[in-house]
Amino acid sequence: MLNLTYKTQRVIILLSFLTIPLILLATFTFYPALRLVQLSFTDWDGVGKSFKWIGFANYKEIFSNSEIFGVFSHNLYYFVGGIIQNILALYFAIILNSKIKGRNMFRVFLFLPYILNSVATAYMFQFIFNTDHGTLNTLLDAVGLGAYKQSWLGNQSLVNISLASVSLWKFMGFNMVIYLGVLQSIPGDLYEAAKIDGANAFKTLIYITLPNIRKIIELNMLLTVSGALEVFDIPYIITGAAPGSDTFVTKVNDVAFKFNNIGLASAMAIVLLIIVTVVITIQRKFILRGED
């Protein structure tokens, strides 16, 4: 038996608990991140053992090629959809926070899309948006609105709206649950006092509800912005990230694994990381007033 002092035993135990997590963190986070930065300055094709240093050529290519940087315009549809999604989520959360009949059932129905697998959701909406036999066009025919039938995924002016609507449908329930949780934490006394003072529903919303859930609105907007910039699965599965419906992340995937240009894809990933960081920083410092 080793005759160790209490202090030595304490140090050994602390190091034992810290070493493994730090090794895992360095292996799966720090090293890949540094490797990503390194590869962004090369022309590596992902196959060969050697590569050539090309400086900032990949970064110049990103900002000068509209086919690469221009796809951010498609991400804007998801950002607008995310704002609408938050408004709807807050609306349903306020309604379902009241004592209406069957509110638990409606909460489950609205939350269900979020727990559905993204691949299953994408295949389901492929069928719904099908031009010839899709549910949406069939429904329009049934209600006498056949003139409005569209190629929802083939029309360049509609495809991103269709895809953003899928994202809205899937994630609205998640935002609603978050809003619902914070609404239930607001003391009922505040609403009773407002009612006694003669405040109507609109004034109650403006002066009691919104100030009390401001932090959660900030959180949801943060998730909306980062989600809109990083959207991948829905356009990739439904349209195969075809031109006109691709996003920046699907473009990164194509550049890396279809065109075997890992160097350029790494630079695109770095640019995306910087943009997300800048947007979130601006949101925190200026729009959200930099509060903790």
* Token code pair at residue 33: 């991140």
H or E, element range at 45: none
pLDDT tens digit sequence for 69-86: 889 899 999 999 999 999
Q: What is the pLDDT of residue 289?
A: 58
Residue 145 main-chain phi, psi, to 5 deg: -115, 35
Is residue 1 scored above 80 in pLDDT? Answer: no
Is residue 130 scored above 70 in pLDDT? Answer: yes
pLDDT tens digit sequence for 225-261: 888 988 999 999 999 888 888 999 999 999 999 999 9
Q: DSSP string spanning 79-137?
A: HHHHHHHHHHHHHHHHHHTS--TTHHHHHHHHHHHHHS-HHHHHHHHHHHT-TTT-HHH
Q: What is the pLDDT of residue 226?
A: 85
* 6: confidence class by pLDDT, cuts 50, 70, 90: confident
Is residue 178 scored above 90 in pLDDT? Answer: yes
Separation of CA 80 from chain center? 12
Tell which phi-psi region holds residue 154, choosing left (phi > 0), alpha (psi between -120 and 50) or beta.
alpha
Residue 78 main-chain phi, psi, to 5 deg: -70, -30
pLDDT tens digit sequence for 9-37: 888 888 888 998 899 999 999 999 999 99
Q: What is the pLDDT of residue 291?
A: 52
Cα separation, 285 vs 289, in Å, equals 5
